Structure 1
Amino acid sequence: MEHMEHVHGTYDWPLVVFSYIVAVVASYTVLNLVGRISSTTGRFRVIWLLFGAVAMGMGVWSMHFVGMLAFSLHEPVAYDPIIVLISVVAAIAASFFSLSIVCKRELQIRQLMSGGLLLAAGISAMHYIGMAAMQVDITYNPWYFALSIVIAIVASIVAFWLSFYFHRGSGRGLLWKKALSGLIMGAAVVGMHYTGMLAADFYMGGKSDSMMGIVLDQKRLAYFIVGGTLVTLGLSMYAMFISGRMARKDREIEAGFKWHESLFNNNQDGIITVDLQQRIIGFNPAMTELTGFTGDMLMHRPIGDVLNFIVEEEREQTREMFMRSFAGQTQNYETAVIHKDGRRIDLSVINVPVEVDGEIVGNYIMARDITEEKRSKERIQHLAFHDELTGLPNRRRFDQLLSLEITKKASRFAVMVMDIDRFKMINDSLGHLYGDIFLKEVSKRISGSIAGKEAVLARMGGDEFTLLVGGRYNDDELGVMAEEIIREIGQPYHLKDNDFYVTASIGISIYPGDGTDTVQLLKNADTAMYEVKRNGKNGYKFYSSELHKKLQEKIELESDLRKALALDEFFLHYQPQIRAGDDTIIGVEALVRWNHYKRGIISPGAFIPIAEETGMIYELGTWVLREACRQMKQWHDAGGPLIPVSVNLSSQQFHQPNLTRYILEILEETGLEPQYLELEITESMMMDPVVSNPVLNELTANGIRISLDDFGTGYSSLSYLKLLPIHKLKIDRSFIRDITVNANDKAIVATIISMAQHLKMDVIAEGIETKDQLDILTDNDCSKIQGYYYSKPLPANELEKAFLEMMRAAK
């Protein structure tokens, strides 16, 4: 070494700075390349690996070579081009293999360490092989040499870890993080190079005397390499940027396709795609399930084949709607298809034209099963216009049909309004459940009686039914029809182990004579029906102008009736009950009268039905009961005789809660003892013994007597007499009227008297007007009489003078 001269070099600092810039740009490029390589597969991965290895190797080599050229020994130095080329290959090869190890979707520590060591070995090899290309003798300080190797290893591992870390990240700060990492990595790579240069001692002589390499213009070549490398790396980054944009676009397209595919395949609505040649080019599983058609029946088949499965009545409309969609119009419509298993499936269909660049290229046919929805709508529609209990048309539907008939300007048709007499009694006594059963049977019977006739039956609510009857029937035929209905309704109804009898009242109005609109026709039919009820029920009547006058009177009477109690217009008459043997008074019946402020005395037959219809009967009945008890207590206090007073109890009073307490309160208020009050009830109140028996037993237990009024005129069972606590039977005047000339009436009366005596009941006959009637009754051992033969109903003061004072005087 004696002939070799140790030389010291100097650095061109601008080139040193440029070498750092090259290292930073190369590091930044590597950070992006790792992410790109990790996200690709197949042959594109190999291409990106090659591209990345070249970019990375050339970047690191360029930094090294520029750094070498930045160092000057003040003597010309030649470079061996073969060795320089080997150093380049070493950098690229190490980059390729290390990148292939590290660039994975999931980076494990083993891969990180092996890839980093491999890259560090390549960089170190590239550096020291490149140093060996200099035609000068070099020795190395082992400590600095080792330090350069450590720096290379740490820089490589950190570079790969940062590359993987930033590959998983996102957000606006990612660019700055990569830039900062590039600065750090560039500093590490430069640090490795200049540490290695610091480890080297250069000697002139030896190799330098036999210079066989190429002597380079250091500055110009260095700047040329810096420029070329930066341009190359810049182009690389630009290529990655463009590639990234294209990859993102591809990912967006692929994601959009997958979204579309997922929506298409998982849509609950059936979808068919049709091209311009009207061939099916796609369908989803929902369409197969919806129609039962298999892929062979759909794919690449003309859409007309599917139209053949549309129900015949909808086929033409469906075809027309489909053709319109090819003209660019979205179509919404309903149709129906026959499923492969034979079921009819109702569909809601949308035909959507598919446009590409403003031109129609096909159609989407989207279908949804609305079979259940349509059935539900039909059920709702049916319920909206039909009675839920009977299934008959309801009031709304009847009004529609009636309005339609009027709109047709028919020459004639009839409206019948019918009401079931005594239905309230059944409903109140048996309960709503049996009331509903009864109404269904009534509707069935009416429907049966008009079967085959031009008539529509409707239930308006409660027990009110209406009929719309065609114009081909004259008045006589309408009367026959009404009689048939009344006869059918009058047959017994077996409810709760008993037979019940009801009747019907029917009112009839004729279009156009009795009205030209729905309201007037129904109102006038109602008027006729209420006239039937007023005259005893169980019949029919045609509307007339006279009925209109009566209705007006009834309306006025109802209005006045509501004021009558407040005006103190009611009063009582009392009809004596006589024992025929000695003509002694044994009781009185209280009968209400109304002294109208304009019309004078009005009979009970005129206002009691109105009071019952309007619900005022409870208030009126309470007044009658209180006044009768008060008057009888007054007579008792005046010296008697101690006889009972009979008071008719209305159905509403009988079925009120706590009836016994209500009556006992009146007795306590008036001071009358219970045994002197006799309540007259009708057979209809006892139709349900389960309800009536406890009430009657409670009244009887408190000393109140029970009389069964109008016995024999109703339809009740004789078993009631055995089950219920009845003290007295009252023979109705209808049996007494013809008792002298009608053998049947005479036999019935005799039977009633005998039965009452055997049941240990009192019996009294009402309506006695002649001596012959009285003789027949006394001959049959009925001595208790009520009627005009002895006295008409009298005011309290007249009855007292005519009967009570005489008995007091006889004491």
Structure 2
Amino acid sequence: MEHMHMHGSHDKLLVFFSYLIAVAASYTVLELAGIVGISKGRRRALWLVFGAVIMGMGIWSMHFVGMLALKLAVPVAYNLMVVLLSVMVAIVASLVALIVISQYRRGMLPLLVSGLLLAVGIFGMHYIGMFAMQIGISYRGDYVFLSFVVALVASIVALGLSSQLMMNRKAVSQAQKMISALVMGVAIVGMHYTGMLAATFEPESRSWLNTGVVLDQKWLAYVIAGGTLFTLGLSIIGVYISRRFSRKDTELLISEKWYRSLYENNQDAIISIDLNLRIIGSNPAATTITGISSKEFKEQPLTSILSIIAVEDQELIRDMFSQSLTGEQVGYETAITHRDGQKVDVSINIAPVMVDGLVAGIYVIARDITEEKQAKEQTRYLAFHDELTGLPNRRMFSQLLSQTIEAHQESQEPFAVLVMDIDRFKLINDTLGHLYGDLFLQEMSSRIVGSVVTAQTSLARLEGDEFALLCRFSRERMNVTDITEQLVAAIKQPIHLKGRDLYVTASIGISFYPGHGQAAEELIKNAGTAMYEVKKNGRNDYQFFSDDLDGQIMEQLELESDLRKGLARGEFTVHYQPQIRAADNERIIGVEALVRWNHPVKGLLGPGMFIPAAEVTGRIVELGNFVLREACRQMRQWHDAGGPLIPVAVNLSSQQFLQYNLLEDIRDILRETGLAPEYLELEITESMMMDASRASAILNDLVKSGVRISLDDFGTGYSSLGYLKLYPIHKVKIDRSFISGITDSSDDRAIVATILTMAEHLKMQVIAEGIETKEQLEVLVGSGCRDIQGYYYSKPLAAEELERKYLRPAEPVGIIV
């Protein structure tokens, strides 16, 4: 029997409602995806189920309304069990798809798999729903396939957007979600009506199955559409409200994580204490600082913290805990004992935990300040101690002196201040270098400490090689002279450095409280004044301060100021002392150049008056170069005038000798003045040659240039024989200290005789200086010394006078007795 085939029409309003349902369902699912993305654990599972129900019901409602929108010529009954089955298929397919996409969010494969699952569910839901119609239906295969393709595309698009929202809610805006929902609605509706196009209805073919319920299609469709839209609207509102709560929860969670991270990673130890004064938590830094683990801290009473704090601070810290319980924040620095027994300095801050204006507990925050405190102590130590020797420095000595003055102020009981300077230290420092100079000062300070420092004395290094000693003894009860002589004796002992023994002396000045000053700086200054007076008078001695010395120091300062001006004004001149060969008709064999100062107020000053000032002010090199240039110029002038071809001897200061450009300066002067090098004799002292390698290099360079070398003050230094052996020396000069006693002292005569014999064997010339009497001359000549210099023949003379008396051939040699 042939069946009647029919195609129905659709109610356009219901078709529109079905589209709205599809759009609303799509939008709701996108919103739910964002919620699922930020949910965790059980809440996430619940949102997945809820989302699957909304998604499945939305798709099914759109489908069912679309079916009810169909108008056929005959009434159609629906099998309710089959309808319910189609609903379940839609929900289960949605759930499976959402689970897959939520577990595997990245990559195309998970998206295609979940999209395929959802498409199969929609496809199944649609055709199962169609099967619920109690009417015969036949399908066109091509339209059926097309409807599946549309379902697949719609599913992939929907799940793709859901995946983006699960990963990052901010990746998709509200406008994008609305547009996506509209597109997805078109796709879902398109799938349904494509499927409907595939169907051809045959009323008689299933009439025997017409056991379902005949529904009023129009009004039922409106009810379902309205109910579904209302449900979806409530869902969107629920999602919005949930999102607000979720945002709050998220903010609280993030805030908690920030706090936890700050708590766990804080470098300061943090210990939480409740109102019952029991420990409820601690961070890793607390374990690091104390050596006590968090488990051991937990639930312990407050006394467990107090027990590791320094005993003397425990009661104070206990009081601070009580203060913090009243809402006050307090802090203190103390020390704790680490579990390994090590002392740890800590800064403790006890802060109340406030909740709704009430104290809910206490935080004990402790910072390890051990290194910081050590650094501060080191800084303080360096501020009051000399870094090289470890002795108190000037600042600390002044404080100590001020405290002693304050203690003695009422009784006016006297005490002494000694200021000492190591003689010839600058020469050691310049010759051997600063490294050996530092070693020398360290050794010397240790020696002084071991010699005179007791409970009643305090030693300090003021600067350079200048030391100060505070003696808390009165003149009556303690002879300060004894301490001073102990110092002198200790300093005189040789110090072995760089393969040789170094001998030095000290100049010491002494002032007394209260007679020489009522303030610390005044006492130091006056002791220094006395010390400089010792230096001026030949060093290696000590002297007490007197009021007369103040005027002398002011005069010295004035002289130093005048010295700078005198060099600029050309106030210096050179005098010449003849050197005579006594055994050869007393003829002149050379001259020594000696500087004089034509001071505008004080008159003609000898070198002893201003050379120390020139050394102190650093003008000695400038002054020495002036003497050298003037002596060479004058000698060349005498040679050119027909005078005897004799050399001029010029003294080199230690600072000149150690100048890096000494050789270059001498060559320039010889070239400038035209004097032949063999007529220049440079006089050096033994003290300039402490650094053998450096001195040897300088002397060899000078000799190679043709200059002659004379060793001045021979016999007064140390290792003299070593110098004669090491260095290219042409002449030695017997010091006047041996000459003054030569007529009365057999020892002096023996020394002079030894020098003469030694020089003869070493093929060196010898000259004796400081000859003032005929008796001295006779002893020297009798001992074999031919070359003489001294007042017996002549004092140093101006160039014109020397020329007139000694250099004119027609005139005999003058002799001053």
TM-score (norm 2): 0.89
Match of 1:621 among 602, 619, 624: 624
In structure 2, C-alpha distance between the alignment counterparts of 1:395 and 1:782, rounded to whole Å: 53
Contact 2:59 2:90 in 1 (8 A): no
1:399-478 to 2 correspondences below 5 Å:
399-406=398-405, 410=409, 411=412, 412-470=414-472, 472=474, 477-478=479-480
1:621-660 maps to which residues of 2 (within 5 A)? 621-660=624-663
Q: Determine the structure 2 residue equivalent to 1:594.
A: 597
Which stretch of structure 1 is more off in the superposition, 401-410 or 360-369? 401-410
How far is the alpha carbon of 1:478 from its aligned partner?
2.4
Contact 2:309 2:336 in 1 (8 A): yes
Q: String of CA shifts for 1:772-799, please: whole Å, max 9, x gaps.
A: 2222222222233223333333333433
Alpha-carbon distance in 2 for matches of 1:677, 1:111 = 110
Q: Residues of 2 paired with 1:347 and 1:525: CA distance?
A: 46
Identity %: 54
- Once residues 774 and 209 of structure 1 are traced to their aligned partners in structure 2, the CA distance between those partners, rounded to angstroms, is 168
**Structure 2 CA distance for partners of 1:603 and 1:209, relative to 1, 3 Å:** closer
Task: Say whether the 8 Å CA contact 1:38–1:103 is kept in structure 2.
Answer: no
Determine which of 665, 668, 690 is the counterpart of 1:665: 668
Alignment of 1:477-492 (within 5 A): 477-492=479-494
- Say which of 116, 134, 146 aligns to 2:144: 146
Q: Taking structure 1 as reference, are residues 196 and 731 closer, same or farther at Cα in structure 2, changes over 3 Å only?
A: closer
**C-alpha spacing 1:712/1:110, structure 2 compared with 1 (3 Å):** same
Deviations 1:724-768 (A, max 9, x none): 222332222222223222332233223323333333322222222
Counterpart Cα distance in 2 of 1:622 and 1:60: 112
SS for the counterpart of 1:393 is coil
1:547 deviates by: 0.5
1:361 equivalent to 2:384? Answer no
- Helix, strand or coil: the match of 1:103? helix
CA 1:85/1:563 → structure 2, altered by over 3 Å: closer, same or farther?
same
* 1:598 aligned counterpart, secondary structure: coil
Superposed CA deviations along residues 107-154 of structure 1, whole A, max 9, x for unmatched, are 35334313321232023212331x22xxxx554454687368535565
1:26 matched to 2:25 = yes
Residue in structure 1 matched with residue 107 of structure 2 by the alignment: none
Q: What secondary structure sits across from 1:391 in the alignment?
A: coil
- TM-fit CA distance, 1:301: 0.3
Q: Does 1:346 align with 2:342?
A: no
1:146 is aligned with what amino acid? V
Label 1:194 to 1:541 Cα distance change in 2 as closer, same or farther (>3 A).
same
Counterpart AA for 1:374: K
**How far apart, in 2, do the equivalents of 1:148 and 1:127 lie?**
17
CA contact 1:712–1:731 (8 Å) conserved in 2: yes
- The 5 A counterparts of 1:89-488 are 89-104=85-100, 105=102, 106=104, 107-129=110-132, 131-132=133-134, 137-140=135-138, 142=140, 146=144, 150=148, 151-152=150-151, 155-156=154-155, 158-171=157-170, 173-195=172-194, 218-406=217-405, 410=409, 411=412, 412-470=414-472, 472=474, 477-488=479-490
Tell me: CA distance 1:807–1:649, structure 2 relative to 1, closer, same or farther (3 Å): farther
1:506 equivalenced with 2:505 (yes/no): no
Q: Is the 8 A contact 2:576 2:593 kept in 1?
A: yes
Q: Which moved more, 1:44-53 or 1:583-592?
A: 44-53
SS in 2 for 1:726: coil
SS at match of 1:718: helix
After superposition, where does 1:643-792 map in structure 2 within 5 Å? 643-792=646-795
Q: Distance in 2 between matches of 1:290 and 1:468?
A: 44
Q: CA deviation at 1:625?
A: 2.6
Paired amino acid for 1:355? M
Alignment partners' CA distance in 1, 2:378 and 2:700: 50
Change in CA separation of 1:74 and 1:806 when aligned onto 2, cut-off 3 Å: closer
Deviations 1:674-720 (A, max 9, x none): 33333322221233332222333333344433322222222343221
* CA drift at 1:453: 4.1
Q: CA–CA distance in 2 between the matches of 1:686 and 1:43? A: 94
CA distance in 2, matches of 1:201, 1:701: 130
| Residue 362 of structure 1, CA deviation | 1.7
Task: Determine helix, strand or coil for the equivalent of 2:516.
Answer: coil
Structure 1 counterpart of 2:416, one-letter code: A
Which of 475, 478, 496 is the equivalent residue of 1:494? 496
Task: State whether residues 117 and 157 of structure 1, in contact with CA within 8 Å, keep that contact through their aligned partners in structure 2.
Answer: no
Retained in 1: the 8 A contact 2:14–2:222? yes
- After TM superposition, the structure 1 stretch with the greater mean CA deviation from structure 2, 31-40 or 311-320, is 31-40
8 Å contact 1:354–1:362 — kept in the other structure? yes
Corresponding residue SS for 2:479: helix
CA contact (8 A) 1:49 1:100 kept: no
Mapped contact 2:111–2:160 kept (Cα < 8 A): no
Instruction: Provide the rounded CA distance (Å) in 2 between the counterparts of 1:545 and 1:702.
Output: 52
TM-score (norm. length: structure 1): 0.89
- Pick closer, same or farther for the CA change 1:521–1:627 going to 2, 3 Å: same
Deviations 1:407-434 (A, max 9, x none): 5564344332211111122122222222
Letter matched to residue 84 of structure 1: L
Q: Whole-Å Cα distance in 1 between the matches of residues 721 and 171 of structure 2?
A: 101
CA distance in 2 between partners of 1:163 and 1:115 (Å): 13
- 1:328-361 CA-partner distances (Å, limit 9, x unpaired): 3344443322111111122233333322223221
- Conservation of the 8 A alpha-carbon contact between 1:307 and 1:315: yes
Residues 803 and 287 (structure 1), Cα distance of their counterparts in 2 relative to 1, 3 Å cut: same
Task: Give the drift of 1:502.
Answer: 0.8
Greater shift in the superposed pair: 220-229 or 461-470: 220-229
- Judged with a 3 Å threshold, the aligned counterparts in structure 2 of structure 1 residues 120 and 156 are, in CA distance, closer, same or farther, namely farther
Aligned residues: 801
Aligned counterparts of 2:41 and 2:773: Cα–Cα separation in 1: 128
Q: Give the letter for the 1:590 counterpart.
A: A
Aligned amino acid, residue 271 of structure 2: I
Report the AA paired with residue 540 of structure 1: Y
Instruction: Say if 1:736 and 1:768, in contact at 8 Å, map to a contact too.
Output: yes
Distance in 1, Cα, partners of 2:755 & 2:312:
72
Check conservation: 2:663, 2:702, Cα contact below 8 A: yes
Q: Secondary structure at the match of 2:445?
A: helix
| Aligned residue runs from structure 1 range 43-82, under 5 A | 44=43, 47-48=46-47, 50-72=49-71, 77=75, 79=77
- CA distance 1:108–1:476, shift in 2 (3 Å): same
Q: Is the 8 A contact 1:79 1:213 kept in 2?
A: yes
Aligned-residue CA RMSD (Å): 3.4
| CA 1:760–1:90: 2 relative to 1, 3 Å | same
Q: Aligned equivalents of 1:689 and 1:197: distance in 2?
A: 118
With over 3 angstroms needed to count, the CA separation of the structure-2 counterparts of 1:567 and 1:233, relative to structure 1, is closer
Distance change >3 Å, CA 194–CA 93, structure 1 → 2: closer
Alignment check: 8 A CA contact 2:283 2:294 kept: no
Cα distance in 2 between the residues matched to 1:153 and 1:688: 100
In structure 2, relative to structure 1, the CA distance for the partners of 1:541 and 1:234 (3 Å cut) is same
Aligned residues of 1:639 and 1:808 also touching (Cα < 8 A): no
Q: Is the 8 A contact 2:136 2:205 kept in 1?
A: no
Q: Supply the distance in 1 between the matched residues of 2:704 and 2:52 (Cα, whole angstroms).
A: 117
Partners of 1:782 and 1:364 in 2: CA distance: 96
Distance in 2, Cα, partners of 1:315 & 1:323: 13
In terms of mean alpha carbon deviation, does 250-259 or 288-297 score higher? Answer: 250-259
Deviation larger for 149-158 or 341-350:
149-158
The alpha carbon displacement at 1:589 in A equals 2.7
1:515/1:208 CA distance change after superposition, 3 Å: same
Q: Secondary structure at the match of 1:445?
A: helix
